Amino acid sequence: MLITKAIIPIAGLGARFYPITKAFPKELVPLLDKPLIQYAIEELKAAGVTDVIFIVNTNKKYILEYFKKSPALEKLLQDRKQAEPLKELKKIDDLMRGLTFTYINDKPLGDGHAVLQARKIVKDDPCFVVYPDDVVISKIPCVQQLANVFKTSEKPVLGLFRLPDEKLSSYGVVSQEPIARRLGKIRGIVEKPQSGSAPSNLAIVGRRIITAEVFDYLKKAKPDQKGEVNLTEVYSDMVNHGKVVYGYEVDGEWLECGDKENWLRSTLYLLQKDPKYSEGNSL
């Protein structure tokens, strides 16, 4: 089954980027020469997605503005013969061709609460959930790799990356029963395990496939002490109840951009890799 819908939950406050994101969406923070959100949209389109559902708060209007066509600006650039900026605007126009965006307002009540708001649009179709502050560089789009698993399993799929021990305490970490190369059946999920207690080295990246069954669990989920519903905890509940959830170790590179330090490290990494920027520079 072809997955053509994706949910991007971006209703959070972006507090780890304050004061930048006090008035500016984290998703528009640039990673090298384009914003985080553009990497996500490019990945989704390359995998055949046509409908993208943004779960936003009222401060995210700039996301809409970024992707919207700007005839007046284009005319001004044409009149001034500024070819290079026009070329960059055309890239966004080309990216948007064949895509439909829907925006749903929500409060920052956890990614699970945000995803649930898209149920009426997604209905019972399988759907990607993508977090833009996780950028995945890969030959085959990350979500496409998960979709290849879903074609035969038709069950929820979590994207996984193998991390060193010292980083695992910041992520959801899975234990799983190996099925095939890179593929396993999830047996348990530990959220932010204490040092030395992680069940494996496989951490959950911000790429998932959800199904109608996941939505059903989200609807019944109770908020935590912070008043939030966490999507990873919902997957954990499903596994604990004997439901089948698959984990796939993604082939690619995970560039973390969830906080300033990781974002700077990821920017430096891409800067060194791109000859357009690194040539002639001592980095």
CB 53 within 8 A of CB 106: no
Kindly tell me if the per-residue pLDDT of 207 is higher than 50: yes
Query: Distance between the two ends of the chain, CA-based, in angstroms?
Result: 45
Residue 246 lies in a domain: yes
pLDDT tens profile 91-112: 999 999 999 999 998 888 899 9
pLDDT of residue 268 exceeding 50: yes
112 within some domain: yes
Domain that holds residue 207: 5-278
| Residue 30 burial class via C-beta count within 10 angstroms: exposed 0-12, middle 13-18, buried 19 and up | exposed
208-227, pLDDT tens digit by residue? 999 999 999 999 999 888 88
Q: Kindly state whether residue 201 falls inside one of the protein's structural domains.
A: yes
pTM (two decimals): 0.92
Helix ranges (DSSP H) in the chain: 36-46, 61-67, 71-79, 83-96, 111-116, 119-122, 142-153, 212-220, 231-240, 260-273, 275-278
Report the alpha-carbon distance of residue 188 to residue 245 in Å, rounded. 10
pLDDT band at 166 (very low <50, low <70, confident <90, very high): confident
Query: 53 lies in a domain?
Result: yes
Type of residue at 268: L
Q: Tell me if 149 sits within 8 A of 87, measured CB to CB.
A: no
State how far the Cα of 131 lies from the Cα of 37, in Å rounded to an integer. Answer: 9
How does pLDDT run across 221-262, given as a tens digit for each residue?
998 888 889 999 999 999 999 999 999 999 999 999 999 999
Indicate if the pLDDT at residue 275 is higher than 90: no
Which positions ≥6 away from 153 have C-beta within 8 Å?
A: 244, 246
Residue 283: predicted pLDDT: 47
Q: What CATH code is carried by the domain that includes residue 130? A: 3.90.550.10
Q: Is residue 172 part of a domain?
A: yes
Residue 283 lies in a domain: no
- Mean residue pLDDT of the chain comes to 91
Structural domains in the chain (count):
1
